[in-house]
Chains A and B, each alone.
Chain A
Amino acid sequence: MSHTMQYLKGVAIAATFLIGSAVTASAFTACQVTDTGGIDDNSFNQTAWKGIQDAQEQLGIESRFLESQAETDFMPNINSLLGGQCDLIITVGFLLGDATQEAAQANPDQYFSIVDFVYDPPIENVAGQVFATDEAAFLAGYLAAGMTKTGIIGTFGGINIPPVTIFMDGFVRGADYYNAQKDASVTVLGWDVEGREGLFTNNFESLDDGRAFAQNLYDEGADIVLPVAGPVGLGSAALADELGIDALKIIGVDADLHLTDPEKGHVYLTSILKRMDSTVFQVIEATMNDMFEGGVIVGTLENSGVDLAPFHDMEELVPDDLKAEIKTIRQGIIDGSISVSG
């Protein structure tokens, strides 16, 4: 009963307010389905969305997005974008892998692109975007090891899935590399590369967790923390803001958090950039030009798909020697003389 009434009322209100809103047909529409972090997470989903917005500005496309509030939303969110209204559906996140696969196979004429997932064997109408994030994280690990005063640095992740742990792998190995080069003994808390176990909040939403996990690491002596959990890291930044950057510095992920989180911008030593905006843009451009290709696009240091953000406010704090070493290592990773995979 009550639900019919609701719609009657809905129609009534709508009819009153509706002042002719003809749907304009557009040349090209790109649609995004976020994971549970939401479109304004300052990092993961937002970076991908920026790619769509860039395309909107430069290529004049239309765009839509749908936020997932829970994992159960993935499938229906993708479904509600089907039916020809989107020329390209971009699903953001490893956890959307199953849902995207199912939708792509049921709708072979619809183009999809997914961030952080590779299908084996590849699906013809899905372009996967993955990132050699460990290359940039390796630099961050080296940097953090060179900057720590306590000799302890820490990291924690959102969920124990490859696109998260690849950050932690690179971070730990970068610190190890520093230890080997300098005969130092910097400890990394929060991730065991061999055992594949570590600290995880098991969500990509809770800023409280971000704070609590950073606090735990800080209590264990860590003065630089790398949270790899999208918006969860904003909670860690809030803690660093209170403690002061001498006590705790944060390394951002995905976007340059100094820019996307300006309020707490001063706590970020640097950010490990995962340039989803550029790969998303690439896929959109290719699709517009009828050049869509299923398969995989890999972002690396070499093609600027991943990178280390500028130090911004901390420019002065980072010794010039360290900067020079990082530059050398960066080159070494690109030309293959330094291996980031252990």
Chain B
Amino acid sequence: MSAKASNDNLTQNLLQRAAPSRAEFEDLVIVPIFAVIVALAVGALVMLATAVDLPTIGRSYIALLQGSVGSLNALSETLTAAAPLVLAGLGLALGFRAGLFNIGAEGQIVIGGLAAVIVGFSFAGLPWFVHLPLALIAGALAGALYASIAGWLRAATGAHEVISTIMLNLISYRILDYVLRQPFIQREGRADPISRSVLDSAELPQLLAWIDPNLRVHAGILVVIAAVVVVHWILFRTKIGFEFRASGKNLDAARYAGMRASFTIVAAMASAGALAGLAGANQVLGVLDRASPGFSAGIGFDAISVALLGRSHPVGVLFAGLLFGALKTGGRQMQVDAGVSVDLIGIIQALIIVFIAAPLLVRAIFPWGFRKPQTEPNE
């Protein structure tokens, strides 16, 4: 019976892969939506429990909405906050697809941003169409190299990437502290670790400054869109992308099929690092114009949530990043208008992830939102 059953299962799986079925749609779209709803509802309960009254809760959720999409400035801020999350999230998603649980985006952002800022303040006199791409590429390359260390350790020695990437994060902070104190990098007249300012020719230009100079959304958002397209293409349209996905599903099978497992691991880590490095470059070239010890701001860790929420699909990551950007920006307005702590936004984000990670729980809460599961032979 097992042969027959597994055969059926295989056929079903193959069919599912060929044409996304209703079940997949439910997993990709409906579960996240309900997860957000439940998280907001539980968030309201948390506020109630901390003695926030109902009108304030209502006002805070209105502020969340207004602050994230309610005005041009809000939209601009949401996009600005989402850009690095999406970039780093794409990198992590790529790694997840290849079966690599990369916790190292934070460190790759740091190293990528550092490289981008150094190129960004050096080379005075270059035209922007040379300087800006050069700085972006430097960021991507540095991130890729840094991530490859973990990939190589995994491929050559079997060191688990979760451990090695976490450690590399810590190392990156110290590298940043050290490098920012070097005289040719540290800003003149400052004793604290802060880099020189990025030259205008390497800055990602603000896109809407002609309307209002306070609108911070910058050309990095175009890089993000390009990255989504490219990652989608790599994952689903190229041989290497197929190898990533095959290795992620079953490393042994991929190896028997003649795929180069070690190469795949290093390549997947390097691509992930390149994207995280771009996220770092995006921050220093588009937002901060300089590097300082805290510039990575935990984006690499938020990006893990973004990749998980986006189900490691490029388009999913894009929307998840936008959602997180919106929550961050809206959370600010919540604090201004309703005086509710920004920490609450962290709780809501965490709840969303919890509910995404527990689709069965979401299905149990909203039974009417899903089609009844068909009787399956194995479960």
Contact = CB atoms under 8 A, between A and B. Distances in A.
Interface stretch (B58-66, B88-96, B147-155, B265-273): B58-66
Contacts of A81: 336
B288 interface: yes
B342 A76 contact: no
Nearest to A120: B189
Contacts of B326: 3, 6
Contacts of A322: none
B158 interface: no
Contact of B62 (A10, A66, A70, A77): A10
Given A5-B37, A15-B58, A18-B58, A71 B294 contact: yes
Contacts of B59: 14, 18, 21
B319 A1 contact: yes
A181 interface: no
A7 B65 contact: yes
B322 interface: yes
Contact of B297 (A6, A14, A70): A70
A20 B55 CA distance: 8
Nearest to A86: B336
Contacts of B329: 76
A235 B287 CA distance: 33
A16 B332 contact: no
B29 A76 contact: no
B58 A13 contact: yes
B54 A19 contact: yes
B191 A79 contact: no
A15 to B, nearest CB: 7
Contact of A1 (B33, B191, B298, B341): B33
A36 B323 CA distance: 24
Contacts of B290: 98
A66 B332 contact: yes
A69 B290 CA distance: 18
Interface string B67-108: 111000100010011000000000000000000000000000
Interface in A139-166: 159-162, 165
A2 B33 contact: yes
Contacts, number: 142
B335 interface: yes
A201 to B, nearest CB: 10
A9 interface: yes
Interface string A104-146: 0011000000000000000000000000000000000000000
Contacts of B322: 3
Contacts of B62: 10-11, 14, 18
A14 B332 contact: no
Interface in A173-232: 196, 202-203
B125 interface: no
B122 interface: no
Interface string A54-80: 000000000011110111110111011
Given A1-B33, A76-B329, A71 B283 contact: no
Contacts of B332: 66, 73, 76-77, 80
Most buried by A among B41, B59, B62, B64: B62
A73 B41 CA distance: 26
Nearest to A39: B341
Interface string B5-44: 0000000000000000000000001001100110011001
Contacts of B323: 2-3, 6
Given A13-B41, A66-B336, A81-B336, A165 B191 contact: yes
Nearest to A63: B339
A13 B193 CA distance: 45
A126 B46 CA distance: 39
B374 to A, nearest CB: 25
A71 B65 contact: no
B177 interface: yes
B291 to A, nearest CB: 10
Contact of A6 (B40, B57, B80): B40
B192 interface: yes
B363 interface: no
A228 B283 CA distance: 29
A81 B290 CA distance: 23
Contacts of A165: 191
A64 B339 contact: yes
Given A1-B319, A19-B55, A160 B191 contact: yes
A10 B40 contact: yes
B75 to A, nearest CB: 12
Contacts of B40: 6, 9-10, 13
Contacts of A5: 33, 36-37
Contact of B216 (A71, A75, A107): A75
Contacts of A82: 214
Contacts of A77: 332
Nearest to B73: A79
B293 interface: yes
B295 A72 contact: yes
A120 to B, nearest CB: 10
Contacts of A11: 61-62, 65
B37 A7 contact: no
B292 interface: yes
Interface in B171-209: 173, 177, 190-193
Interface of B: 29, 32-33, 36-37, 40-41, 44, 54-59, 61-62, 64-65, 67-69, 73, 77, 80-81, 173, 177, 190-193, 213-214, 216, 283, 287-288, 290, 292-295, 297-299, 319-320, 322-323, 326, 329, 332-333, 335-336, 339, 341-342
5 contacts: A6-B40, A11-B62, A11-B65, A80-B333, A196-B191
Given A1-B33, A106-B214, 14 more contacts: A3-B319, A13-B44, A13-B57, A14-B61, A19-B55, A67-B342, A70-B297, A72-B287, A72-B299, A75-B216, A161-B190, A162-B191, A202-B193, A203-B293
